[in-house]
Structures are given as C-alpha cells and as structure tokens.
Structure 1
C-alpha cells in the first residue's frame, strides 16, 4: 500500500507528542496547529497505536474542521483499521472540495486495491498522476509497489516501465521491474532487466539469486549455477542459494556436486527432511543405493509425513527385487499424497511384479487419470496387458491415450505394433504412417520394445515402405 505519511519523527515531533500526552493526562485542551497534529498522528501510526491516532484525529478535526489534510489523515487511520468504506466516504467528500489533491486519489487507490478492485485502483492512481507535476518518477514507483505488494504484477509493470523511461539507470526501478517480469513468466525480459541492474550493482546478492531462479526456470542450468555462485561469493550466508544451486547441478546430472551443495544447505535451514530426500535421490541417480536408502531413512525419521522419501525407498527396494517391502513404502507414499501420478505408476509396476493384476491395473489406471498427457502410463499398461496376451485390451488403452495426445509418435507406433501382432495390417499401416509423419527418425525403436516383430516381414516392410 502507498504510504501517505511523511515518516519523519524528529525531536520536535516527539516534543509535540509529549505535550499532547500531557494534555490528555491533565484532562484539558491545548492548541496545536494543523501540521503539529499531523506529526502527532504520524507518530501513533508509526507505532501502530491506532486507538491513540483516532483520539488525536478526533481532537484535531474539532480544532480544525476545515483542514483537508486532517480529513485525509483520519481516512488513513480508518484504512489502517480496516474500515475501508468509512474512509472512502470521507475521501469522496473532501474530493468535492479539493479535487486536485493527489493524496486523496492515492489513498482511494489504496482502498480499492485492498477491496480487490484493482482496476478501480488504477483509475485513482492515474488521476493522482494527472494532478501531480513534480516527482513523477517517484510517484510511478510508489504506485507500482502498491500493486506489487498485492501480487498485481501486470499492473505494476506498466508504471515501472514508464518510470524507467524517465531514468534508465534507476536501480530500484530496474530491480522491481525485473522481479515483476519474473513473476509474470516473462523470463527473457526478466533476464535482460536483471542484467541491466547488475551492471549498475554487481554486488547485489539478491539480484544474482533472482536471475539464477529465472535461468533455472528456462532450463539454462549452467548459467543458474554461475548466478548462485556469484550470490554465495557476495554473501556466503545466503542459504537458499546453496539449495537452488544444488537443484541446478542435479538438473545437469552433476549429482556428486549437488550432494555437496545440499549438504552445505543443511548447515543453515531447518527443512532437513526434504533436503535429505533430495540427497537420497542424487545417490539413487548415481546407483549408490545404500547411501540413498540411508538418506531416505533419515528424511523419514525427520518428517514421517513427507511422501517423497517413502517413494524413493519404495523405488530402490523395487530395483532390488524386494517387492513386498517396496509395496509397503509405495503404499505409504500414495497415502500421504494420493494426487501424485508417479506414485500410482510405481505402485502399479510393483503390483505387476507381485503378480497382483487387479491392483496393478487399478494403480496404472489411477496414474493415467491423474496425468492423461503422460504417454508412458498408457504404454506401460498396454505392455502389461500384452505380457498377459491381451492385445485387444492393450489396443483399447492406447486408443484412449490418443484421445488426449493424438500426435504422440510412441502411442501411434505401439498401436501399429499391437495391430500387427493381432494380424490387422490395415490398421497397423494406418498408425505406422501417422507415426512416421510425426517422427520418422526414431520409428525403428519400435523393434527394441517388440523384438518379435523383426521376424514379421509384413510389418517390417510397412516401416521400410513408409520411411
């Protein structure tokens, strides 16, 4: 919210406050001019003592009933107390008397913002700009922050861009604009603007950290790591930079370096369970299963309600063919978070290996329902039916998948394979053609999944003819 107080409390102001409190204690009435009352009110607002601010405001308005600035102060106090409509009524009244006072429009804008009427707030702020002839850049910045504090980043951007036109090297404007671009998903603009800010302020750890977040989001993990390293070079206590650096390293497959960074993060933050879980996942990717299990177990002991380490434990136990134990952990992960499609998919795989077909199919089906756009799920379920010599149902599963992702070459080529297995070469040819039209380079991969089709001369001829 735009601050409408001047925020100055010098010795003279404190003397005025003491004199006012002396008056109240003596139960008498002293005279204060308008500016003196404003200083006293500001003091109590600064101290968040709104009941005293109200008391001062009431006395002030009795002594100076025609003072517009005191009416605005009263409206400000009402806003701070959450009495937005009462404040708005006062402001509308004084606006009819003094229609070019920017503070009226600014406070009305704040009220509309707090009421969730952001475009009405914008109208008021724009009117404040129309009647303001000095410090326009500062006013634009203040309005932008008012919107930014309420996560109205798109609205904030308009004012920040105009402020930047007035001063292209204003560091505060550049930083907030880059941040708003980041929050609205305008990643390239955010990177460019953070770069401009860093040219002026190369030792800003927060800017390096923020640009690292954007680099990570666009998949430029190398630049993200560099940004986090700059952050830590400037401020080695910036704990989140260790964590984000670890994530960026893991995303590059540099799991040993990621483990080191996660371990450094453990020295700072209390969120140890998640961090141990991430460390366990890195060891899992390195095929160091015993270390992975140790860290997953530590994560579970730290927070038994965190689903990820239960899931990680379940996967490793499944890799080790300890299916019964695996099911215990995977079931627990699913219980803790039954909206995670990966958990259901892993559970389906474990039940399939445990020779529990009904539970396996139910779990695979749940994974597909939760994420119908992941082609791995229907392809795996179809393969499960194929392994049980039920190609017709496998075909039905893949056709259902095509309803969601009609241009998935893996689904199309798998359908072609199953139709070839069932002897329906017309349908097989139809789906092979569609798969090749989308991805001709990888069509031969179908023989890795269905090696038995290498001996199917009609099927191999279909692929050779269509390539």
Structure 2
C-alpha cells in the first residue's frame, strides 16, 4: 500500500540554516515579512515579530516597512527612543514615508512640538489628503495658541474626512462645519 502526503508550501519564514538553496534573497525577505506580519497582527507576538524583522533587516537593511513596523512595536511597548530610532531609519530610506512621519510626530507631540509640526507638515506634503495628520497638526497648533493656523488645519482635516468633525475642539467646530462636496451639492439623491 502506498500513502501519499501532501505538504503545504512553507508558511513560516526560513532561517538561514534551513532555507532552501533555491530561495532567492527576495523570496526570503518576502517570507520573513509575511511571518513577521502574521506574528504581529494575528498572533499578537510582538517579540517574535521584532525578532523576525531583525532577521529580515540583516538580509535587506533598507526595508522601510520593516523599520517602520519595528517602530510601531517599540511605540506600543512604550519604548519611545527605540521607536523614534526605527522611524528615523525608515525615513532615511524614504523621507516621504507618510506613516513613519505621522507616527514619529505623535511620539514627539508633547515633548518636541516644533519637530512634530514639521513632521506633520511633511506628511501632509507627501499626502495632501492625510486627514488625521491635519487633525493632529491642528491640535498641536491650537495648544500653541496659533489659532488661525489651527483653524485652517482643522478645516482641511474635516474637508478630507467629515467624520473627524466631532474630534475638532469645540472652539473651532463652528468654523469647520463639513460642507457638501461639489458632487453632493445640488444632488437630489
């Protein structure tokens, strides 16, 4: 009697000792990324994910997503210095990486507001529809009593995403009422 076993394609990333010789560096990086994302998002294993990102970065030290995700893990663990270092490395690779700009700005929001403002403005320049970046920028500017600039940032946030209106501080809400877009204006639906 013959028994056949069907083995699935490996879902866990290979380490350097067990990786098939035919796997390219790109395939190894892809497999490590998939494993790290699985560990981070589905298994809630941030330590395992961080270790996997570290292995990935040995193969591809210019992987901005791995650096960014290491920053997210460190930020969630309250390791702000490590998070900031990881975000900075991602930004050296891609200075317009909106997610890294935004997350680093959030880290610095209370300790270095001028740098946070600069980072949020860079994020907005990279993605003019970044509604939450406008919202955060408005909040920082309002805290610095730069009300005209804050109001403009809040207006842009709400214009990009009307659902953010409720998050605008009360003193600015009347001036940033969401208005219908041109496609909605005059619509009879």
Asked if Structure 1 and Structure 2 have the same fold, meaning a TM-score greater than 0.5 normalized by the shorter chain, the answer is yes
**Residue 70 of structure 2 is aligned to residue 132 of structure 1:** no
Matched ranges for 1:13-412 at <5 A: 66-69=4-7, 72=8, 103=10, 106=11, 129=15, 131-133=18-20, 134=23, 135=25, 136-150=28-42, 151-216=44-109, 219-271=111-163, 273-276=165-168, 278-280=169-171
Distance 1:156 1:68 in 2: 28
Q: Kindly name which structure, 1 or 2, has the bigger radius of gyration based on alpha carbons.
A: 1
- Highest RCO, 1 vs 2 (Cα 8 Å, sep ≥ 6): 2
1-structure distance, mates of 2:93, 2:153: 29
- The whole-number CA distance in structure 1 between the counterparts of 2:19 and 2:66 is 19
> Aligned-pair distance for 1:241?
0.8
Q: Please, what TM-score do these two structures have when normalized by structure 1?
A: 0.32
Return the TM-score normalized by structure 2.
0.73
Query: In structure 2, the residue corresponding to 1:68 is in which secondary structure?
Result: coil
Deviation at 1:211, TM superposition (A): 1.8
The alpha-carbon distance between structure 1 residues 227 and 279, as it changes in their structure 2 partners (threshold 3 A), is farther
Q: Secondary structure at the match of 2:95?
A: coil
Deviation at 1:273, TM superposition (A): 4.6
Corresponding residue pairs, total: 169
Q: Please state how far the C-alpha of 1:231 moved relative to its aligned partner.
A: 0.9
Structure 1 residue runs of 5 or longer lacking an equivalent are: 1-63, 73-101, 107-124, 283-291, 299-467
CA contact (8 A) 2:134 2:153 kept: yes
